[in-house]
Amino acid sequence: DGGITQSPKYLFRKEGQNVTLSCEQNLNHDAMYWYRQDPGQGLRLIYYSQIVNDFQKGDIAEGYSVSREKKESFPLTVTSAQKNPTAFYLCASSTVSNNSPLHFGNGTRLTVT
Amino acid sequence: SQQGEEDPQALSIQEGENATMNCSYKTSINNLQWYRQNSGRGLVHLILIRSNEREKHSGRLRVTLDTSKKSSSLLITASRAADTASYFCATDMSGGTSYGKLTFGQGTILTVHP
């Protein structure tokens, strides 16, 4: 079955440490996205990529970095510069076309203490 | 900034009743999409309505779009306990070479009591 796999499901880190969240898709989608969700909130776009080796900042990119070396993979690094990193992180993918819905992974819950 | 604002924030109904959720937005859109999220899980796409469409159905779901009022509604008919989830509207304002950048509302938490 095709889908998006995010790992790990839960992640705990100490303040000041960088941490990388994994996102892999086998849907053959060109576009991939990272969203952040805080309790009781909607999703906010961190970064997105429409093609390998290219990505753009979303609305809240500060303190985050990404890479897109392979079509299937779009890892997100939460750096120590992110002031409030504790959140639920969701990865998504889509085709690069008009009116294309997003397919989401099941998220990684990051807790930084 | 959040493009979509949803109303109500929470909705509690009995099984068998209909549930209506509303979404308002601020700028022109290409399409509006509705997603469902079960607690602690990812979002699942439910339905997409294009800016030139006024109504769309999918099973027990009915979505309307009023571009003059910049609003949409999602109706779930004959609700079931399994419909309990958060529902989000998302607007696609992208065009040209930028696809799929959605802006999400804060969601409506729907609770269906058996």
- pLDDT, one tens digit per residue, over A56-81 is 999 999 999 999 999 999 999 999 99
Residue B3 has pLDDT above 80, yes or no: no
Mean pLDDT of all residues belonging to chain A: 94
Where does the pLDDT of residue B98 fall: very low under 50, low under 70, confident under 90, or very high at 90 and above?
Answer: low
Please report the pLDDT score of residue B2 as a whole number.
47
Residue A8 has pLDDT above 80, yes or no: yes
CA nearest B38 in A: which residue?
A106
Q: Rounded to the nearest 5 degrees, what angle is found at the Cα of B106, between the Cα atoms of B68 and B7?
A: 55
- Nearest C-alpha of chain A: how many angstroms from B31? 7
Please report the pLDDT score of residue B105 as a whole number.
92
Residue A39 has pLDDT above 60, yes or no: yes
Please report the pLDDT score of residue A1 as a whole number.
58
Answer whether B100 sits within 8 Å of A102, measured CB to CB.
Answer: yes
Buried b (16+ CB within 10 A) or exposed e, B52-87: eeeeeeeeebbbbbeeeebbbbbebeebeeebbbbb
Please report the pLDDT score of residue A40 as a whole number.
80
Please report the pLDDT score of residue B88 as a whole number.
96
- The residue among A6, A43, A97 with the most chain B CBs within 10 A of its CB, best to mutate, is A43
Mean pLDDT, range A90-108, rounded to an integer: 92
Where does the pLDDT of residue B94 fall: very low under 50, low under 70, confident under 90, or very high at 90 and above?
Answer: low
Residue numbers in B near A101 (CB within 8 A): 33, 45, 48
Where does the pLDDT of residue A26 fall: very low under 50, low under 70, confident under 90, or very high at 90 and above?
Answer: very high
Which residues, at least 6 apart from A83, have a Cβ–Cβ distance to it below 8 Å? A63
Distance CA A34, CA A3 (A): 15
- Nearest C-alpha of chain B: how many angstroms from A79? 23
Q: How far is CA A76 from the centre of its chain?
A: 5
Where does the pLDDT of residue A41 fall: very low under 50, low under 70, confident under 90, or very high at 90 and above?
Answer: confident
pLDDT tens digits, B102-111: 899 999 999 9
Other C-beta atoms within 10 Å of A37: how many?
22
